[in-house]
Amino acid sequence: MREALGIKHGVFAVDCSISPGYLTHVEKGAKQPSEEVITRIAKRLGVTKDEITYTLHADASKKRAA
């Protein structure tokens, strides 16, 4: 979404008060951001938190572990 809006990686990280390295991990799915960071990211993108997050149901996590 950030790229689609033409927002550069480093600029976006600074705007969201996180490091570019941390942003890389979040975008790759390697790190789960806190609610506070999710709120800042959503605000910067101009969307709701629901539009950039999803819930992993217990059944799905069991399937992933198998």
Domain residue ranges of the chain, discontinuous segments joined by +: 9-65
- Quick one: 3 exposed, middle or buried, by C-beta within 10 A (0-12, 13-18, 19+)? exposed
Q: How much is the pTM?
A: 0.78
For every residue of 2-55, DSSP letters joined together read: TTTTT--HHHHHHHTTS-HHHHHHHHHTSS---HHHHHHHHHHHTS-GGGT---
Write down the pLDDT at residue 39: 96
List pLDDT tens digits, range 14-47.
999 999 999 999 999 999 999 999 999 999 999 9
Write down the pLDDT at residue 55: 75
CATH of 9-65 among 1.10.260.40, 3.40.50.720, 1.10.1370.40, 3.90.380.10: 1.10.260.40
Q: What's the pLDDT band for 63 if we cut at 50, 70, 90? A: low
